[in-house]
Amino acid sequence: MPGRHSAVFFLENGQDSMKDKEMFPKIKGRVLFHEPLFKHTTFRIGGLCGIWAQPRNEEDLKKIVMFAKSKGKKIVIIGRGSNILPSDKGFDGIAIHIGAGCFDEARFVGSRLIAGAGVALNRLINLACKRGLKGLEGLAGIPGTVGGAIFMNSSYRGRISDCLEEVRAMDLNDGAVITIKRKNLKFGYRHSNLRGYIILSATLRLKRASPQALLKQRDRLLAIKTKKQPLGCFSAGCVFKNPDGGTSAAWYIEKSNLKGKRIGDAQISERHANFIVNLKNARQRDVMRLISFAKKRVKAKFGVDLVPEIVVI
């Protein structure tokens, strides 16, 4: 079974978790206690989290935010878990999964697409292409949600921020919902200024185009990804950001003879050197050691500092 994990935290905090169960607000969505995080990440890595909650509406989401605040509990937001590397020791807080109910709904208003933050990007791209609306097809094959893609400013052949008009978000401090216009949103490489917020939904402004041409372009990009990346393996996508200067992180890692390098069950992919794959039972510790090994090798050989893009929890 992938993702073995330690139960130490829960043995030590058994009393607290009993109280959590009794006091956690009643919501319509699923709430699980002591839920293994590896089940919810594409890396299949991560220990137990105290509370796993999947609200279906904003009212229930706010109840969870206010509960966390009153109990001094940390919150982590998880979409598809395709860019995160959770700790083997688990997470002593509340993991909120945005992906059900109203967060998984999308609708068109003319050439605008209003999408819940939990909608899978690939589903959204499919909807938009078939409707003859251009702007999202360049993100084909990214296995995340709308919220995760906006938070990370995901990109492949284009960025999600390119067609973003506004975002609705909940303030993690007080549960207030605000609308943030594009001019007030700041994006960088795998970065947005949305830390401290839960993205609820987004309005994307798309352009009219031929559905056939869009579907063709999407399929072309999917075929490139399938050929170049280890898509069938457990991973969190590219581990490092590409350094400034135009040479990819994958090139530096490959030229440092690191393809196939393995620590525990974590391995630098033979197919794409910027991917680390979980062969079966990799732990966060193995991945972190491999990251550090690759960083040192590349620094020694090329003098380049590689910076991870995956989110370590």
Ligand X SMILES: Cc1cc2nc3c(=O)[nH]c(=O)nc-3n(C[C@H](O)[C@H](O)[C@H](O)COP(=O)(O)OP(=O)(O)OC[C@H]3O[C@@H](n4cnc5c(N)ncnc54)[C@H](O)[C@@H]3O)c2cc1C
Nearer to ligand X, 23 or 66 (CB): 66
Q: Which of 62, 237, 278, 291 binds ligand X (CB under 6 A)?
A: 237
- Minimum Å gap between C-beta 243 and ligand X is 16
Q: Return the closest-CA partner of residue 90 out of 8, 175, 189.
A: 8
CA angle, 75 then 79 then 84, to 5°: 75
State the Cα–Cα distance between residues 186 and 171, nearest whole angstrom: 17
Nearer to ligand X, 50 or 143 (CB): 143
Judged by CB under 6 A, does residue 248 bind ligand X? no
Q: Return the closest-CA partner of residue 42 out of 78, 76, 80, 4.
A: 80
Nearer to ligand X, 128 or 152 (CB): 152
The token pair that represents 104 in the structure block: 């998984």
Q: Torsions phi, psi of 171, nearest 5? A: -75, 125
Q: Please, which residues have CB within 8 angstroms of residue 259's CB and are 6 or more apart in sequence?
A: 253, 268, 269, 270, 273
Residues 129 to 158: which contact ligand X by CB under 6 A? 142-145, 147-149, 151-152, 154-156
Which run of H or E residues covers position 202?
strand 197-205
Judged by CB under 6 A, does residue 198 bind ligand X? yes
Nearer to ligand X, 29 or 144 (CB): 144
Q: DSSP states of 72-83 as a string?
A: T-EEEEESS-SS
- Minimum Å gap between C-beta 209 and ligand X is 21
- Minimum Å gap between C-beta 159 and ligand X is 8
Three-state secondary structure call for residue 85: strand
State the Cα–Cα distance between residues 233 and 219, nearest whole angstrom: 20
Size of the site for ligand X (CB under 6 A): 33
Q: Torsions phi, psi of 311, nearest 5? A: -95, 115
Q: Which of 199, 202, 266, 291 binds ligand X (CB under 6 A)?
A: 199
Residues 13 to 42: which contact ligand X by CB under 6 A? 42
Gyration radius from the chain CA atoms: 20
Kindly list the catalytic residues: 190, 238, 309
52 to 91: interface string for ligand X, x by CB under 6 A: ------------------------xxxxxxxxx-------
Q: Which of 37, 117, 136, 221 binds ligand X (CB under 6 A)?
A: 117
Nearer to ligand X, 68 or 117 (CB): 117
Q: Which residues bind ligand X (CB under 6 A)?
A: 42, 76-84, 98, 117, 142-145, 147-149, 151-152, 154-156, 194, 198-199, 229, 231, 235-237, 311
